[in-house]
């Protein structure tokens, strides 16, 4: 799988997007980053290099953008979307609330136009203007962006979802295929959506899945280790591998490389093993410090333990607090 992706990257080359006339600090940061666009499968493309994976479905209806990325990358992401399609952006979808995924909502939604309303969802008046794309997410995303617990401040109104859903899933049809948003409660956060492009056979997994770190569990935003595991198992239930277990459904994690079902099985097994080890130590009445000292992640730290901002100890602590119910 890795070889395939590298070959694809080489074949497609790099799309360097240069943004000028920005304030100096921002311009310097942006000038150093070049984004890559990769064709994932079917109608679905990946814009990589923005700090998160930006997934874009293209077609005659206009682009659908899942997680447009952080605010500082908005203009570059939009320029990269333009290399895939000149049409107005139709929908922006958020897998969850974090600002590295939603910060560019405003910039990308402003490049769009809305498409009717309804479809059994709630449309919020604020921020919905005639020339903007809808921003769609689970209702918990709006709750937490608009009304976060102190001392956090609400996100800017222009970043909020304009359409939310509260059912277990939301489905609609765009660019010739069915699109399913599946709510995964209490996983990375309590408002996670897995976004399944059914005909292209691609799933944008958000931060329930990462190939470059242990799963990040945001306890304060309602996340939990068991919810993450349910999410990984849900992804496995949706995914179907191709011949000889290679290929088939492609899964795009929030961070890291495009995966197939075999990659996901390996990751799910790793998370299950660590969860079981920590659970076992909790049953033996070990304290958090004793659990950390027992190094329940040791054999996986080489691969997953070096992520910026999410160390092995932070992961163990989140697993422990979730399982011990002591947060
Ligand atoms: Zn996140």
Cis amide leading into 151 (omega within 30)? yes
Give me ligand 1 centre to Cα 100, in Å: 7
Q: Do the bridges between strand 91-93 and strand 122-123 make them parallel or antiparallel, or are there none, so unpaired?
A: unpaired
Give me ligand 1 centre to Cα 285, in Å: 31
Residue 285 phi/psi, 5-degree rounding, is 65, 30
pLDDT in tens, the chain (327 residues): 444 443 443 344 333 333 334 444 544 444 457 899 999 999 999 999 999 999 999 999 999 999 999 999 999 999 999 999 999 999 999 999 999 999 999 999 999 876 654 444 444 544 444 579 999 999 999 999 999 887 889 999 999 999 999 999 999 999 999 999 999 999 999 999 999 999 999 999 999 999 999 999 999 999 999 999 999 999 999 999 888 777 899 999 999 999 999 999 999 999 999 999 999 999 999 999 999 999 999 999 999 998 999 999 999 999 999 999 854
- Note the pLDDT of residue 114: 63
Give me ligand 1 centre to Cα 178, in Å: 25
Q: Which residues fall within 8 angstroms of residue 175, CB to CB, at 6 or more apart?
A: 43, 57, 58, 59, 60, 61, 62, 64
Give me ligand 1 centre to Cα 161, in Å: 16
- Note the pLDDT of residue 285: 96
- Note the pLDDT of residue 326: 53
Give me ligand 1 centre to Cα 266, in Å: 21
Domains of the chain: which residue ranges? 34-268
312-324 vs 225-238: helix axis angle to the nearest 10?
100
- Note the pLDDT of residue 13: 39
- Note the pLDDT of residue 237: 97
Q: Which two tokens stand for residue 47?
A: 């814009």
Give me ligand 1 centre to Cα 217, in Å: 8
Give me ligand 1 centre to Cα 257, in Å: 16
Q: Are 296 and 274 in contact (CB under 8 A)?
A: yes
- Note the pLDDT of residue 10: 39
Give me ligand 1 centre to Cα 191, in Å: 11
Give kind and range of the element (H or E) at residue 91: strand 91-93
- Note the pLDDT of residue 7: 41
Give me ligand 1 centre to Cα 226, in Å: 17
Q: Which residues fall within 8 angstroms of residue 124, CB to CB, at 6 or more apart?
A: 142, 160, 161, 162, 163, 164
Give me ligand 1 centre to Cα 244, in Å: 33
- Note the pLDDT of residue 44: 98
How does 125-153 read in b/e, with b if 16+ C-beta sit within 10 Å? eebbeeebbbbbbbbbbbbbbbeeeeeee
Q: Domain 34-268 maps to which CATH number in 3.10.180.10, 3.60.15.10, 3.40.630.40, 1.20.58.340?
A: 3.60.15.10
**What is the DSSP code (8-state) at residue 241?**
B
Q: Are 65 and 79 in contact (CB under 8 A)?
A: no
- Note the pLDDT of residue 149: 80
Per the rule left: phi > 0, alpha: psi between -120 and 50, beta: everything else, 245 is left
Give me ligand 1 centre to Cα 173, in Å: 26
- Note the pLDDT of residue 27: 47
Write down the pTM of the prediction: 0.86
Give me ligand 1 centre to Cα 271, in Å: 17
- Note the pLDDT of residue 3: 43
Give me ligand 1 centre to Cα 21, in Å: 30
* E runs forming strands in 114-201: 122-123, 134-138, 163-165, 169-174, 177-184, 192-197
Give me ligand 1 centre to Cα 231, in Å: 14
- Note the pLDDT of residue 33: 72
């Amino acid at each position: 799988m890795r070889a395939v992706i590298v070959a694809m990257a080489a074949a497609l080359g790099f799309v360097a997007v240069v943004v000028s006339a920005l304030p100096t600090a921002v311009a310097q940061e942006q000038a150093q980053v070049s984004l890559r666009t990769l064709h994932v499968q079917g109608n679905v493309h990946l814009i990589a290099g923005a700090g998160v994976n930006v997934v874009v479905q293209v077609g005659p209806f206009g682009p659908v953008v899942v997680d447009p990325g952080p605010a500082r990358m908005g203009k570059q992401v939009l320029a990269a979307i333009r290399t895939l399609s000149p049409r107005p952006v139709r929908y922006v979808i958020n897998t969850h609330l974090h600002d590295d995924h939603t910060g560019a909502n405003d910039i990308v939604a402003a490049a769009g136009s809305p498409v009717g309303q309804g479809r059994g969802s709630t449309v919020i008046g604020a921020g919905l203007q005639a020339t903007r794309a809808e921003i769609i997410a689970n209702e918990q995303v709006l709750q937490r962006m608009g009304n976060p617990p102190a001392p956090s401040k609400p996100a800017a109104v222009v970043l909020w979802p304009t359409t939310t859903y509260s059912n277990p899933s939301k489905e609609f049809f765009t660019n010739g295929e069915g699109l399913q948003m599946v709510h995964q409660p209490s996983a990375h956060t309590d408002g996670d959506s897995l976004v399944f492009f059914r005909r292209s056979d691609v799933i944008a997994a958000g931060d329930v899945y990462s190939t470059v770190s242990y799963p990040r569990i945001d306890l304060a935003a309602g996340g939990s280790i068991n919810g993450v595991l349910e999410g990984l198992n849900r992804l496995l239930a949706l995914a179907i591998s191709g011949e000889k277990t290679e290929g088939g459904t492609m899964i795009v994690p929030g961070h890291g490389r495009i995966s197939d079902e075999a990659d996901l099985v390996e990751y799910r097994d790793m998370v299950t093993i660590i969860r079981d080890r920590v659970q076992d130590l909790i049953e033996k009445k070990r304290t958090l410090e004793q659990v950390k000292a027992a190094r329940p992640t040791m054999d996986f730290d080489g691969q997953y333990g070096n992520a910026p901002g999410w160390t092995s100890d932070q992961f163990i602590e989140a697993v422990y607090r979730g399982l011990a119910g002591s947060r």
